[in-house]
Amino acid sequence: MHIPCIATETAFDVQCPVCGRGFLLLTEPTLSLQRGSMRRHARRALAAQHDQPLASTGRNVHSDEVFDLPGWDGEPEGSSVTLDFTASLRLRTSH
């Protein structure tokens, strides 16, 4: 399952442990244990983005638009409201 997220400068769910940038996770897991697991995975995935070739160019390694952090193996949870919100953000940021 992928974790949709977007960079934010205000309230955030997780911070990249490498650069400190904040991200809002666009999901609604129902269990706090699941939420903690998702956050831990998101932090690892964000840190891994700094190891990609783009990181060596000095440009921002994290997208300013909605993007998916791949590879989380937790239960897929989310409401239709979350999915609608994510789709709306993708449409607005893709223009």
Burial 13-52 (b: 16+ CB within 10 A, else e): bbebebeebebbbbbebeeeeebebbbebbbebbeebeee
pLDDT digits (tens, 9 = 90+) for 47-76: 998 887 765 565 678 888 898 887 666 654
What dihedral do alpha carbons 32, 37, 39, 42 form, nearest 10°?
-150
- Give the separation between CA 89 and CA 69, rounded to whole angstroms: 16
**pLDDT one-digit tens code per residue, 17-49:** 999 999 998 887 556 667 888 889 899 999 998
Q: Kindly report the pTM of this predicted structure.
A: 0.68
